[in-house]
Structures are given as structure tokens and as C-alpha cells.
Amino acid sequence: EVSRGDVQTCTWWRAPVIWEGMFDAALYDQTHAKEGSSVALTVFAVGRYLDAYLETFLTSAECHFMLALPVTYYVFTDAPEKVPQVALGPRRSLKVIRVPKHSRWQDVSMMRMKAISDAIESDIRHRCTHVFCLDVDQEFTGRFGPEALGESVALLHAYYYNLPKWLFTYDHNPGSRAHMDTGDFYYHAAVFGGSWRSVKALTESCYQGITEDKRNGVEARWHDESHLNKYFWLHKPSRVLSPEYCWDRQIGDRKAIRVARLQWAPKHYNTLRQA
């Protein structure tokens, strides 16, 4: 087994942290293909996010995401007629699911948890072994393969992976279900996944937390991401992805990051988040 001496490759509960140079890509492709793994990739493109990001997201996923396995894209949108026609490879397909357009972007983001859990129950669990849930405002630029698959998968946030814990932006309000004083890592909600059972449990639990907070008139500091961090603190992920799996080029070059597999797209919040 090849290894990396310059980065943390294992958590204290013995989950691997996946970095370039640690794994045999071809072996992961073969093993998962033989085991019959198949992947649902959920992505939301509501309001202006559809025109701004969806086509690049899908086109780049066709070049880099789980090329060795059957993949079904689940595109959640308020405008199904505007979903771009993207040429898909064999054993790859796309389903569109209509969702309401909440007026606050925070609600669009948080309500993903409910929509994903519903789709797993009604459809995904009959077709796919694994689920990955991604933000749409990103572009694949390198291999994102079955080495990322596991029972329960979390991603190290690119801005926090090498910072001390006291800087992690957890929710510190005791009135929120997402409240936590300390944790293991700061995980990024732009990428999470696992077996369909695990992702169903995760999305249901986060949605419950969000609903309870709404009843109590509170909102967690970073919305669904705060609830996700709380969940992964209580239910340790079995696999952790390095920031290679969601890098922001604005951070600049870092020696540890040998490949950027998925990258943040430029953000234009002023126009994107207008009602």
C-alpha cells in the first residue's frame, strides 16, 4: 500500500482520509464494478442556479465522476423544462424531480435534506447502492471515483482542514439542535454520501433538526451544514474525503493538494440570491 506522510490519512476512529497517492484507482474501479455498485448523484438547481451552474456541473461529471460505474443523476429543480440536454455515456441516466422554489436561499439549501430523503425512499433505493449529494456550484476537474464510496462519507472543508478546532464555525447556540461545543473536523455540506440507507438516515435526521429549530424560532449558524456537522459528530463517517474532493482555487497552491477533483465555481451571490 502506497502512503502519504505529509497529511492525516486516518481518523482517531480509524476511518481512512482519502488523498491522492494512497489508493490504487484501477483496483477500486474493478472491485466496485464487480460488486455491482451503482451511484445516485443528487444535485439541486433552483432559481438562478440552474442557468448559472447546472450544465457545467453535468458535463464535467460525465468526464470525471464514477466513470467505471452506472450513475443516475437526480436533478431537483423548480424549472424542469430548463434542464439542459447533456450527452450521457452508456449506463448513465438523468431524472428530473420538481421541487418548490422557497423564497429564502437558506430554505432552498435546508429543504434539500427532505427532498433527498423522499427520493431515496421512493426511487433511489430500488436502483442504486450508493448516493452522493453535491452542491451545483462546482465543476469536476479530476477523477472522482469509487475510492470515494463508503458506508457513510464526509468531506473536509477546504478552508478548515488545516486549522485548529477553535476556529471551526459550528453552531454554538444551545437553543439549536445543531449546537455543539467541539467536534472532530469541520465538514463541508457541498459533498456528502454513503449507502442509500446511511444517506436516508442522515438526511432524515438533519431535516428533523431543521424542523425542530424552525418550531423553536432558531436557525443554525450555517443552516444544513451545521446540522450535518452535528450528525457526523454523533455518527462518525466511515470514510473521509480530503479537500481534493472539493477544492477552491482561490486558496492558492498547497503542497498537500496534488489534484483538484472538484472545484468551487465562482460565486456571484448578489445576483444569485436575489428573489
Q: Pick from 47, 116, 119, 137: which binds Mn ion (CB under 5 A)?
A: 137
Which residue type sits at 89? G
Q: For 242-271, b where at least 16 C-beta lie within 10 A, e where not — what string?
A: bbbbbbbeeeeeeeebeebbbbbbeeeeee
By the rule CB under 6 A, 49 interacts with ligand UDP: yes
Query: How far apart (Å, rounded) are the C-alpha atoms in residues 231 and 177?
Result: 10
Beta carbon of residue 44, minimum distance to ligand UDP (angstroms, whole number): 4
- Stretch 183-202 residues interacting with ligand UDP (CB under 6 A): 190
Q: Please work out, in degrees rounded to the nearest 5, the angle formed at the alpha carbon of residue 68 by the alpha carbons of 130 and 116.
A: 25
| CA dist., res. 107 & res. 224, Å (int) | 9
Residue 225 is a catalytic residue: yes
The Cα 84–Cα 53 span in angstroms is: 11
For the CB of residue 130, give the shortest distance to ligand UDP in the complex, in Å. 19
Q: Is 120 helix (H, G, I), strand (E, B) or coil?
A: helix
> Which one of ligand UDP, Mn ion, none is in contact with 20 (Cβ closer than 5 to 8 A by kind)?
none
268 marked among binding-site residues = no
With CB cut-offs between 5 and 8 Å by kind, which of ligand UDP, Mn ion, none does residue 17 bind?
A: none
The one among 19, 28, 44, 161 contacting ligand UDP by CB under 6 A: 44
Residue span 69-98 as binding mask against ligand UDP, x where in contact by CB under 6 A, dash where not: ------------------------------
Q: Which CB atom, from 65 or from 196, has the smaller least distance to Mn ion?
A: 65
The three cell numbers locating residue 254: 498547497
Residue 157, marked binder: yes
Phi, psi of 17 (to 5 degrees): -105, 125
d(CA 166, CA 183): 10
Q: How far is CA 74 from CA 94, 99, 136, 262, in A?
A: 6, 12, 12, 18
Sketch the per residue contact string, 97 through 116, with ligand UDP: x for CB under 6 A, - otherwise: --------x--xx-------
# binding residues, Mn ion (CB under 5 A): 2
Which uninterrupted H or E stretch holds 139?
A: strand 138-140
Asked if 46 interacts with ligand UDP (CB under 6 A), we say yes
Per partner kind, with CB cut-offs from 5 to 8 A, the member of Mn ion, ligand UDP, none near residue 176 is none
**38-53 per-residue burial string, b: 16 or more CB within 10 A, e: under 16:** bbbbbbbbbbebbebb
Q: Pick from Mn ion, ligand UDP, none: which does 109 bind, CB < 5 to 8 A by kind?
A: ligand UDP
Q: How far is the CB of 75 from ligand UDP (least distance, A)?
A: 10
The site string for ligand UDP over 199-238 (x = CB under 6 A, - otherwise) reads: ----------------------------------------
How is residue 131 annotated by DSSP?
E
Contact call for residue 135 and Mn ion (CB under 5 A): yes
Residues that bind ligand UDP (CB under 6 A): 44-47, 49, 105, 108-109, 135-137, 190
Q: Which residues are catalytic?
A: 225
